Amino acid sequence: MTTDSLSLFAIPLAILYLVALACIYRILLSYRTAQGAIAWIIALIGLPYLAVPLFLFFGRSRFGGYVKARRMGDRALTSLLDQFEQQTTSISNPGHEHFSDELQVLCKLSRQPFTSGNHCTLLRDGEATFEALFEAMEDASHYILMEFYIVRSDRIGQLIKAILERKLAQGVQVWFLYDDIGSVMLSRRWLRELSAAGAHVASFGKGNVRRRRFQINFRNHRKLLVCDGRVGFVGGINLGDEYLGTVIDQEPWRDTHCRVEGPAATGLQLAWLEDWHWASNIRPELDWHPNNIDHGDQQVLVLATGPADTWETCTLFFLNSINNARTRIWIASPYFVPDFQIMNALQLAALRGVDVRILIPEKSDSQLIRLAAYSYLVQASQAGIGIYRYQRGFMHQKVVLVDDRYAAVSTANLDNRSMRLNFEISIINTSPDFIGSVDIMLKDDLKHCQRMTESDYQDRSILFRLSCRAVRLLAPML
């Protein structure tokens, strides 16, 4: 090999290692977990030609630029938040009889207040949810705001588009935001026709490409709808036929959504506006006067979490709930791959006598996550944590019940992606009536669950157990 050929080989290699060192520098300044940082550093040193491109696209832990666009870069958005916090319906004063240090933490995490004068309706399946969504959209007279992780151009998708096109013809404005990764199978024709009818359509990923480069590992996992700033919806249900159990050769999906009336709908609208402004740099004129309803007596907080936040807000929400549980904490999640913080908190809760129950599906849309969940059975069983596998189809709901003090309907799963990589949103309700409805729903679900034991893992083959433990190593990426 000649000197010239050696130089041609050495120069690219040197550049590659310089880029790898730059990546390591960034990791050391911003890592969130030591395990993840060490894994990346070893890979960047040992296999830079593979690790460098992977890190550039998948290694970032913060969603750069969003905070500036949301808070510092747009005074109008900050002004709207200040206006919302000062509404007379707010009960975020620590001296309020319904307020506690625990709820104060949630307000600080969400950057929104708890509000009174709300009414939430629990929607226990896809049929009830779509019926309520369709009714709210048909009743809209000014605007419809939509944001969904998955949108399909199947029967439900076509019904949604038909309603939106009809409302557009009536002069109602439609603002439609979707995640381009979650909705990768959505027909381009569907989007073109909706845009042609006059809707404002944006993709969370393809919009604002300059600021989003090298951030494709992040997802907007939120599912919400707001009509006229007066009624809103949030929960686990996307726009697709699978939630009706009508897809051939597919297990029925069990999911939960929530209808919100009152000032909390304004909180949902604010969360939507932040995402829309990021994706499009446009701030539509909306109604910001909270809607006080006669039959509203519920205290509700909108908790939007994501990788652009100062703290790991989703992780802190779960830790706050688990650590403050006194008698019970029940969590329903389709994906159970907790990190050591969450698992330790669950163990401590069970050891101090709290009734800890985790509802997960027996049949999953991810075999890797299903395997990983088995690896936690020994730790869970020894501490007294009950892990229940739902037997009637794929359970996709995300619900948290803490004592008889509050309940949350959410888009967030109990996994690393929701904790650190996804934009999520939850409704937290302290009303006894709402808590009671969630309690009844989860008790009904538990009737169709089988409690897992340590032997369900220990009595399996060594190959199965090794597979579970090996997949668990991938937890930060699942």
Assess whether pLDDT exceeds 90 at residue 391. Answer: yes
Question: What pLDDT was estimated at residue 58?
Answer: 62
CB 388 within 8 A of CB 468: no
| Spatial CA neighbour of 426 closest among 183, 156, 221, 166 | 221
Model pLDDT for residues 212-227, shown as the tens digit of each residue: 444 566 789 999 999 9
Highest mean pLDDT among 134-143, 270-279, 371-380, 448-457: 134-143
pLDDT tens sequence across 16-75: 767 778 777 777 776 666 666 777 777 777 777 677 777 766 656 555 555 555 554 456
Tell me the pLDDT band of 282, cut-offs 50, 70 and 90.
confident
The pLDDT assigned to 1 comes to: 52
353-385 pLDDT, tens digit per residue, is 999 999 999 988 878 888 888 888 888 999 999
pLDDT in tens, 162-174: 999 999 999 999 9
Q: What average pLDDT does the chain have?
A: 85
CA–CA distance, 105 with 111 (Å, rounded to integer): 10
> pTM higher than 0.85, yes or no?
yes
- Which pLDDT value is given to residue 347? 97
Which of these ranges, 182-191, 260-269, 278-287, 391-400, has the smallest mean pLDDT? 278-287
Predicted local confidence at residue 214, as pLDDT: 45
Residue 318 pLDDT more than 80? yes
pLDDT of res. 213: 46
Where is pLDDT greater, at 157 or 296? 157
The pLDDT of residue 252 = 85
Radius of gyration of the chain (CA): 23
Asked whether the predicted pLDDT for residue 107 surpasses 70, the reply is: yes
Between 88 and 52, residue with greater pLDDT: 52
Contact at 8 Å (CB) between 441 and 408? no
DSSP state letter for 252: P
pLDDT of amino acid 65: 56
Position 193 pLDDT exceeds 80: yes
How many C-beta neighbours within 10 Å does residue 378 have?
Answer: 16
Nearest to 303 by CA among 443, 435, 112, 436: 112
Q: Which residue has 């845009």 as its token pair?
A: 195
Q: Which residues of 60-91 are buried (b: 16+ CB within 10 A; e: fewer)?
A: bbbbebbbebbeeebeebeebbeebeebebbb
DSSP state letters, 266-294: HHHHHHHHHHHHHHHS-------S----T
- Per-residue pLDDT reduced to its tens digit, 41-57: 777 777 776 777 777 66
More confident residue, 176 or 59: 176
Q: Does domain 313-477 have CATH number 3.30.870.10?
A: yes
Q: What are phi and psi of 341, to 5 degrees?
A: -60, -50
> Catalytic residue positions?
221, 223, 228, 396, 398, 403
Average pLDDT over residues 288-314: 86
pLDDT confidence band for 403 (50 / 70 / 90): very high
Q: Are 59 and 49 in contact (CB under 8 A)?
A: no
pLDDT of residue 35: 63
Residue 32 or 390, more confident = 390
pLDDT of residue 478: 59
- pLDDT recorded at residue 345: 97
pLDDT range class, residue 95, cuts 50, 70, 90: low
Mean pLDDT (whole number) for 442-455: 94
Contact 363, 333 (CB under 8 A): no
Which tokens belong to 42? 């070893």
CA-angle at 422, arms to 164 and 391, nearest 5°: 85
Instruction: Tell me how far CA of residue 469 lies from CA of 263, 342, 363, in angstroms.
Output: 46, 18, 19
CATH class in words for 66-98+116-299: alpha beta
